[in-house]
Amino acid sequence: MMMKLDDDVETALALSCEELQMTREELIRLIIREWLQGYGYLPINDLDEGSETEGSA
């Protein structure tokens, strides 16, 4: 079942999906996770010091 959002939100999602090369479901999952982390409902996972992404912020 696909949730129908306001037209402007659907347009923004479609553009973001194309730009980020993600499916609509993946993008919505990411947005919800980041929102929940931002408001403290989920812990933010720290990167390991030896991570390949170290220093690439």
Instruction: Report pLDDT for 45.
Output: 80
**Does the global pTM surpass 0.75?**
no
DSSP state of 34: H
What are 17-47's pLDDT values in tens digits?
999 999 999 999 999 999 999 999 999 886 5
Helix 24-38 vs helix 7-20: crossing angle, to nearest 10: 100
